Amino acid sequence: MEIYSVGNKLRIGLFGKSHAESIGCYIDGLPLGMEIDADGIARAMDLRRPKGGIGTPRREKDEVILEEGVIDGKVAGRVLIRIMNRNKDSSAYDGFNVTPRPGHADLPALIKFEGFEVAGGAQFSGRMTAPLVAAGAIAQQYLAAKGIRIAAYSKQIADVIDTEERTFEEMEASRSRKTRAADDALDARMEEAILKASADGDSVGGIVGCMAIGLPIGFGGIWFDALDVSVARMMFSIPAVKGVEFGKGFGLASMRGSESNDQYAVKDGRISALSNNMGGVCGGMSDGMPLTFSVAFKPTPSISKPQRTVNLREMRDDTVEIKGRHDPCIVPRAAAVVEAMAAIAIMDQDLSFQSDQ
Ligand SMILES: Cc1cc2nc3c(=O)[nH]c(=O)nc-3n(C[C@H](O)[C@H](O)[C@H](O)COP(=O)(O)O)c2cc1C
């Protein structure tokens, strides 16, 4: 069984495939005796679940089994999280072994790995993020005890853009909405954009905004282990992510230093910045401001409109029509994944580089 691993002191090992018996992950490095709130894990899983008409019709219960390493609700060693794949239908994928789907991993994987079977997207499926959300929920519990909280929301879906500077509380409240937009009017417009694309046999992309609060000044590693490096690595590991920016990100390129620098002041005896253009990170460490970043997701590659592809058996041009069960937009579900992956990165940074460890 292949295991894909990441992390320094908190090590995550991801395994399984979309249509295997199960998927899951190992978590090494959780503090022994740490209490695990199973309801908190279930709540996080619920936020990743597809909603109404705007998510994939593949419905999975996603019951998280803490198979090893947890005794009486407390961490007793390496934790093994397993989630069964119950709702599998590989028939819709057979053809993609011959006519790979544009935008998905089919073509490179079929060329690279002998005997590769596309079924459900295999290890490239968005479903692989389910155990990561469970692991992230545990990391969020660890961080919450230290006053560090993380929330993500839909900042943009298709051409519907939330232009407001959102507070942490607004982002957190957006979790209960269908698209995770931060208010009702945007939620409705984002949902409409997704449904319209879906009705056209098409898909849309968008941007997830994320904020972590409670990081003290100096939090994080430096250079290759920097806070932003570590968060960006986890973000780019999420399938369909094509861009990550911290603070004003690419917008900084057209600013002057006098506009972009976050100047400092002392307020109530504490050092604070007067703006947050850098997204809370300087020199790879927290500058004490909220860590804010945006993650761009491409439109879901599997669309039902006919598309040009190649026929690998006959080595000729061909077309492909996709009939499987797919999300017309990944963004609303992906916000839960962004939160989880950020939590894993930040917990690893905490265990690895904070002096009280
Ligand atoms: C939560 C989530 C759900 C996804 N659902 C789908 C889906 O239903 N159909 C699909 O084609 N891709 C889906 N994807 C995206 C693909 O897994 C991804 O585009 C593919 O593995 C190729 O990788 P890349 O886009 O990072 O290059 C999903 C991704 C995530 C994070």
Q: Whose CA is nearest to atom 19 of ligand 1?
A: 240
Sequence-distant (6+) residues with CB within 8 A of 113 are none
38 forms bridges with which residues in the sheet? Answer: none
Q: Has residue 42 been placed in a domain?
A: yes
Closest to 332 measured CA to CA, from 174, 146, 135: 174
Number of folded domains in the chain?
1
When pLDDT is averaged across residues 271-288 and rounded to a whole number, the result is 97
Per-residue model confidence (pLDDT) at position 120: 84
- In angstroms, the CA 124 to CA 249 distance is 28
Within a domain: residue 43?
yes
Read off the CATH number of the domain in which 66 is found.
Answer: 3.60.150.10
**Rounded to an integer, what distance in angstroms lies between the CA atom of residue 106 and that of residue 239?**
13
For the chain, how are helix, strand and coil distributed in percent, rounded to 5? 35, 25, 40
Between the CA of 212 and the centroid of ligand 1 the distance, in Å, is 25
Residues 335-355 pLDDT 10s: 999 999 999 999 999 999 996
How would residue 357 be classed by pLDDT, with cut points 50, 70 and 90? very low
Mean pLDDT of the chain: 94
Q: What phi-psi label fits residue 285: left (phi over 0), alpha (psi between -120 and 50 degrees) or beta?
A: beta
Determine whether the shortest distance from the Cβ of 246 to ligand 1 is under 6 A. no
Per residue, the 3-state secondary structure of 18-48, as one string, reads: CCCCEEEEEEECCCCCCECCHHHHHHHHHHH
Mutate which of 327, 331, 333, 339 for ligand 1 pocket (most atoms within 8 A of beta carbon): 327
Pocket test of ligand 1: the residue of 89, 104, 244 to mutate, having most ligand atoms within 8 Å of its CB, is 104
Which of 300, 337, 341 to mutate to test ligand 1, by most ligand atoms within 8 A of the CB atom?
A: 300
Q: Give the integer Cα–Cα distance in Å for 103 and 200.
A: 18
Structural domain harbouring 43: 9-353
| 167, 227, 248, 270, 339 from 287: Cα distances, Å | 18, 11, 15, 12, 20
Query: Is residue 13's pLDDT more than 70?
Result: yes
Q: Which of 83, 233, 330 to mutate to test the pocket of ligand 1 (most atoms within 8 A of CB)?
A: 330
* 64 domain-assigned: yes
Measured from the CB, is residue 104 less than 6 Å from ligand 1? Answer: yes
Q: Is residue 216 part of a domain?
A: yes
62 backbone φψ class: left, alpha, beta (φ>0; ψ -120 to 50): left
Q: What is the pLDDT of residues 14-67, one digit of tens each?
A: 999 988 899 999 999 999 999 999 999 999 999 998 776 777 766 778 899 999
**Quick check: is 163 in a domain?**
yes
331 CA distance to ligand 1 middle (Å) = 10
For residue 3, is it within any domain?
Answer: no
Q: Which atom of ligand 1 is nearest to the CA of 58?
A: 8
Residue type, 86: R
Identity of residue 233 = R
**Quick one: tokens of 49?**
């679940």
- pLDDT at residue 250 greater than cutoff 70: yes
Pull the structure tokens for residue 210: 């994320």
301 lines ligand 1 (CB under 6 A): yes
Kind of pairing between the strands at 270-273 and 149-157: unpaired
pTM for this entry: 0.97
The closest of 28, 16, 22 to 123, measured between CA atoms, is 16
Q: Rounded to the nearest 5 degrees, what angle is found at the Cα of 221, between the Cα atoms of 279 and 286?
A: 30
Q: Give the pLDDT confidence score for residue 247 in this predicted structure.
A: 98
CA distance 102 to 237: 19
Tell me the two tokens of residue 202.
Answer: 């098409």
Helical (H) or strand (E) element with 171: helix 168-173
Q: At 46, which amino acid appears?
A: D
- Residue identifier of the C-alpha nearest atom 25 of ligand 1: 240
Read off the pLDDT of each residue in 96-105 and give the average, rounded to a whole number: 95
Contact predicate 205/298, CB 8 Å: yes
- At residue 60, the pLDDT reads 72
- The yes-or-no verdict on residue 198 having pLDDT over 70 is yes
| Mean pLDDT across 240-256 | 98
Residue 318: pLDDT above 80?
yes
Q: Is the CB of 107 under 6 A from ligand 1?
A: no
